[in-house]
Amino acid sequence: MTAIGQKVTRSSLLWLAGLGLALSVQADTPPAAGNAARVDAYGDPLPAGAVARLGTIRWRHNNTIIFVAYSPDGKEIVTVCQDGIAHVWDAASGKKLRRFGKADIAAVQIQAVPQAMAVRTEGTAGVALSPEGNTLAVGSSNGSITLWGVATGKEVRSFKTALPTGANSLLFALDGKSLFARGSDAVLRQYDVAEGKEVRKFGAVPRPRAFMSFTQGRAGITPDGKSLVLADIDYNDNQFSTFIKSWDVASGKELSSGKGPALQLNLVSIAFAPDGKTVAWGHYSGTHLWDVATGKEIRKLDGPQRSNSTALAFSPDGKWLAVRGGDQTVRIWDVATGKELHRLGEPIDPLLTGVAVIGLGRGWVTSDLAFSPDGKLLATTTPANKVRQWDVQTGQELEVRSGDR
């Protein structure tokens, strides 16, 4: 083949790939009335007037994915995009089952911290799934929180809060009757889910922070449901520091307060282990495992340079920790030994995702992580707004049919 022929072939391939993407992003366009039976090779309906689809719409989103979680039975996966729209997928096939929500250009405050399973940790970026998996809470830029029925896609209720600029992060109590929320003032507030009323605040109200986009605080509830634990960054006298505090859930009384690891400004992710005894701090130089009770470092999981830990998730049994780096690859670590078990996905230059710019801009947050309830699978999301699933034991991606990438 001549050089000209090669160029034409490459151009044609790029054109076809672009066409396939253009067709695929029309996932939510219903078919015309007379076109109801026309579907693609995967059985999904085609947009009005279309006769075929190159590729598939399964697992595809039209916006940046900021939250992913499995249902308690592992049969469904719930995702929420930056625009505040939620999607429910069949975990086995990737077929979209439901789509609901209120479109809001700034529907959620973006943070690069995932939901750690088991110890009910905060849902990412103002999103949380209840322990029973039947209710999804989504914070809005106007300060309101909306509760949605996951099975029906219907709004359960919506209530206003005193959260400045809306909820940065949300956390359901173990019984699902309370919802803990944090806004840009970094104050933890407890709300009664049934009535939408504020019950109490946890801790003194701090002064507004100068660099709120770097506040990546995470809260978790211990397995007995009695203690609320918070790991966060503080900013005083032009210095950043980390701390860990705990409160009694029933009374709001502070139980303990201590310093966390001395890290740099670019701390980007935090997650609690299922037993509530260990917290993982993501950092530019790697990931630090910290003992909550003693305030001492257990070990450091070294990562490559320019590979910020942008998302963390513990497996339900606490044996593994999934860490997404700035290059978008996900490493699975053995928590007890600090040994890297698997590396998932293909590396992407951090400069292309904005991660290397110390979290400036929206591009730095590209995804979330979630283990399945049995700990056998890991769901990840990509900068291309797609969900991928991996076998944790083998490190292999679940079978993907032709054209499904």
- Span between the terminal Cα atoms of the chain, in Å: 28
Instruction: Identify the CATH number of the domain in which residue 349 sits.
Output: 2.130.10.10
Domain assignment present for residue 403? The answer is no
pLDDT digits (tens, 9 = 90+) for 9-37: 444 443 344 444 444 444 444 544 544 56
pLDDT score, position 80:
93
Q: Which domain holds residue 35?
A: 1-57
pLDDT digits (tens, 9 = 90+) for 330-385: 999 999 999 999 999 888 765 554 433 333 222 334 458 999 999 999 999 988 88
Q: Judge if 138 and 2 occupy the same domain.
A: no
Domain assignment present for residue 397? The answer is no
The CA R_g of the chain, rounded to the nearest whole Å, is 21
pLDDT score, position 138:
93
In the block, tokens 């979209």 appear at: 96
Q: Judge if 39 and 177 occupy the same domain.
A: no
d(CA 112, CA 117): 16
Domain assignment present for residue 151? The answer is yes
Q: Judge if 24 and 164 occupy the same domain.
A: no
Q: Judge if 146 and 46 occupy the same domain.
A: no
- pLDDT over 80 (residue 118): no
Predicted TM-score of the model (pTM): 0.80
Q: Judge if 50 and 163 occupy the same domain.
A: no
Provide the residue type at 296 as one letter: K
In this prediction, residue 83 has a pLDDT band, given cuts at 50, 70 and 90, of confident
pLDDT score, position 155:
96
The angle at the Cα of 127, spanning 122 to 128, to the nearest 5 degrees, equals: 55
**Exposed/middle/buried for residue 118 (C-beta within 10 Å: 0-12, 13-18, 19+):** buried
| Structure tokens belonging to residue 226 | 């009695």
- Give the domain-ending residue among 27, 57, 87: 57
C-alpha closest to that of 114 among 172, 67, 170, 63: 67
Beta bridge partners of 144: 160
Domain assignment present for residue 140? The answer is yes
Q: Which residue has the higher pLDDT, 405 or 290?
A: 290
Q: Which residue has the higher pLDDT, 197 or 204?
A: 197
Rounded to the nearest integer, the mean pLDDT of the chain is 76
Domain assignment present for residue 197? The answer is yes
- pLDDT over 60 (residue 7): no
Q: Judge if 150 and 11 occupy the same domain.
A: no
pLDDT digits (tens, 9 = 90+) for 213-227: 344 567 888 888 888
Q: Judge if 172 and 210 occupy the same domain.
A: yes
Q: Judge if 5 and 88 occupy the same domain.
A: no
d(CA 106, CA 204): 28
Instruction: Evaluate whether 126 touches 168 at the Cβ level (below 8 Å).
Output: yes
In this prediction, residue 321 has a pLDDT band, given cuts at 50, 70 and 90, of very high
